[in-house]
């Protein structure tokens, strides 16, 4: 049985934090089904342009930014923890974490929402330590993320509508997360 481990002891404030986005090369059936439901059944056809699901890894290390990016790139290439290179691509972001370089917006506003379980997050770094010896990596936290492109130019209205789409409140409102055991945080908002 896999034991869930929470990252409680590592002080992230002094670490170099690097983000990695894993995007599928294959059609995203979850997002396709969700966008069809949201546009055809729930009435978001006029405002919802695009929806994508991806994975965000937040990785902490004590290395400098240049060494951290090289170390994480090496770990992505040599391990199976992050992605399957035949099916997915990995994008390493520096500490500025400009998600507009990963998700392009054709019109309106793009938002990226990070989803986490209410009971906490699991630190995957011990797997890297035991199986591959990457002791320089102090913490690896994995989050599902949603990219939502809305046909709105008003930033505040876009955030409000994205939250309405994300959080399931009834059969008619929201679809992507269950507030009984998940929470969503909008981590990036950018325009075309």
Q: Where are the chain's structural domains? A: 12-191
Mean pLDDT taken over the chain? 90
User: How far is Cα 187 from Cα 95, in angstroms, rounded to an integer?
Assistant: 14
185: left (phi over 0), alpha (psi -120 to 50) or beta: beta
184: left (phi over 0), alpha (psi -120 to 50) or beta: beta
User: How far is Cα 147 from Cα 159, in angstroms, rounded to an integer?
Assistant: 12
Q: Provide CB contacts within 8 A for 98, sequence distance 6+.
A: none
User: How far is Cα 133 from Cα 170, in angstroms, rounded to an integer?
Assistant: 46
How many residues does the structure list for the chain? 192
- Closest by alpha carbon to 181, among 114, 115, 112? 115
Predicted confidence band of residue 94 (pLDDT cuts 50, 70, 90): confident
Residue 36: strand, helix, or coil: helix
Quote the pTM value. Answer: 0.89
| The pLDDT value given to residue 8 | 34
Strand partners, 54: 145
Predicted confidence band of residue 163 (pLDDT cuts 50, 70, 90): very high
DSSP count for the chain of H helices, then E strands:
4, 6
| The pLDDT value given to residue 1 | 30
Predicted confidence band of residue 50 (pLDDT cuts 50, 70, 90): very high
134-143 residue pLDDT tens: 999 999 999 9
């Amino acid at each position: 049985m896999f034991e869930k481990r929470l990252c409680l002891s590592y002080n992230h404030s002094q670490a170099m934090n690097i983000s990695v986005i894993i995007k599928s090369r294959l059609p995203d059936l979850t997002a396709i089904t969700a966008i069809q439901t949201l546009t055809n059944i729930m009435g978001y056809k006029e405002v919802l342009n695009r929806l994508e699901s991806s994975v965000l890894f937040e990785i902490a290390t004590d290395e400098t930014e240049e060494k951290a990016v090289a170390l994480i790139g090496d770990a992505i290439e040599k391990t199976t923890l992050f992605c399957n290179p035949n099916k997915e691509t990995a994008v390493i972001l520096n500490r500025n974490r400009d998600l507009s370089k990963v998700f392009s917006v054709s019109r309106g506003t793009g938002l990226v929402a990070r989803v986490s379980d209410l009971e906490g997050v699991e630190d995957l770094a011990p797997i890297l330590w035991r199986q591959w010896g990457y002791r320089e990596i102090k913490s690896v936290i994995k989050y599902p993320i949603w990219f939502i492109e809305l046909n709105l130019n008003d930033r505040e209205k876009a955030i409000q509508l994205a939250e309405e789409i994300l959080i399931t409140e009834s059969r008619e409102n929201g679809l992507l997360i269950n507030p009984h055991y998940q929470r969503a945080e909008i981590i990036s908002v950018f325009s075309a």
